Amino acid sequence: MRHTLPLAPQFYVTAPQPCPYLEGRMERKLFTALQGDHADTLNDALSHQGFRRSQNVLYRPSCSDCAACLSARIDVSKFTPTKGQKRTIRRNAHLARRATSPWATEDQFALFRRYLDTRHADGGMADMDVFEFAAMIEETPIRSRVVEYTDKEDHTLIGVALTDVLSDGLSMVYSFYEPDLPRQSLGTYLILDHIEIAREAGLPYVYLGYWVPGSPKMGYKARFSGLEVYFGGEWQPIGDPDRFDTARHPLSTDPIAEQVSNISLPDTRNSSG
């Protein structure tokens, strides 16, 4: 199925597949290609409307009878770490951060495989080989960085985040870390450190991907203060997480053509490449 807007990117819809977050449900995505001279501008515009990037594709959930997935971001100015998050920062003070161009390495892939095999052995990425991993890291038409976290003493690679730089923040595309160090809460730490990076750079937001109420995999995102979700066509503070309904209903989402017509696209006609 294909839907288009005049002088605009073409939007497509994926075939339904089992939902990775809520058991017994089917997911479907609305997506478009991310390419050309104005890729950064398009990525910015659609990220502000709940889309996410995967290599050279931008996508957003568009399930036929479910609207549980909500794009989430942290308002850096409103974030205050909890006592537990402060402890997480202290426990990881021995890590050094290094941001590089998006280039895949053998050490990254080895860590990625340990992470998947331990944490997500039955997930959709479980069978990724080194070439697919390299494509995930390197195939980006926009401004992206690989942020590595290593032990200051022995320089062992402990964590990695693939991060896009948007006009108004950092978008954490994908992150993975040493799975055998549960007490260090590395997943939380990578987010906390990205909040600090955004603050240092004067960027107001850190985009976290999707928060899914009712999904144990995604519940941790609601523990960050200053969290906003894209709901009802606008960003709003999450407030009480329990106010969001995960019940299925045939009118949960608008028809695809209506969704596409409501997407606000940047005007690039008068801009230079």
Q: From CA 39, how far away is CA 62, in angstroms rounded?
A: 22
Q: From CA 160, how far away is CA 116, in angstroms rounded?
A: 13
pLDDT at position 266, please?
A: 86
pLDDT at position 254, please?
A: 82
pLDDT at 166 over 80: yes
Q: What is the mean pLDDT of residues 21-43?
A: 92
Are 22 and 68 spatial neighbours (Cβ–Cβ below 8 Å)? yes
pLDDT at position 191, please?
A: 98
Looking at domain 73-243, its CATH superfamily turns out to be Gcn5-related N-acetyltransferase (GNAT) (3.40.630.30)
pLDDT at 94 over 90: yes
Where in the chain do CATH 3.40.630.30 domains reside?
Answer: 73-243
124 or 260: which leads in pLDDT: 260
Instruction: Tally Cβ neighbours within 10 Å of residue 237.
Output: 11
pLDDT at position 272, please?
A: 46
Q: What is the mean pLDDT of residues 50-74?
A: 93
Q: From CA 236, how far away is CA 224, in angstroms rounded?
A: 14
Q: What is the mean pLDDT of residues 39-56?
A: 95
Encode pLDDT of 194-242 as tens digits: 999 999 999 999 999 999 988 877 788 999 999 999 998 899 999 988 8
Q: What mean pLDDT, rounded, does the chain reach?
A: 90
Q: What is the mean pLDDT of residues 15-21?
A: 90
Are 147 and 163 spatial neighbours (Cβ–Cβ below 8 Å)? yes
Q: From CA 4, how far away is CA 199, in angstroms rounded?
A: 38
pLDDT at position 268, please?
A: 61
pLDDT at 176 over 50: yes
pLDDT at position 125, please?
A: 76
pLDDT at 250 over 80: no
Encode pLDDT of 74-93 as tens digits: 999 999 999 999 999 999 99
Burial class (CB in 10 A: 0-12, 13-18, 19+), 33: middle
Q: Kind and range of the H or E element at 189? A: helix 186-201
Are 169 and 205 spatial neighbours (Cβ–Cβ below 8 Å)? yes
Encode pLDDT of 7-16 as tens digits: 468 999 999 9
Q: How are beta strands 169-177 and 205-211 bridged, if at all?
A: parallel
Residues paired with residue 70 on neighbouring β-strands, in sequence order: 211
Close Cβ partners of 105 (under 8 Å, ≥ 6 residues apart): none
pLDDT at position 8, please?
A: 67
pLDDT at position 253, please?
A: 78
pLDDT band at 123 (very low <50, low <70, confident <90, very high): low
Q: Which of 223, 122, 125, 229 is nearest to 176 (CA)?
A: 125
pLDDT at position 269, please?
A: 58
Q: What is the mean pLDDT of residues 118-130?
A: 77
Q: Which of 64, 54, 66 is nearest to 136 (CA)?
A: 54
Q: Kind and range of the H or E element at 112? A: helix 106-119
| SS3 call for 180 | coil
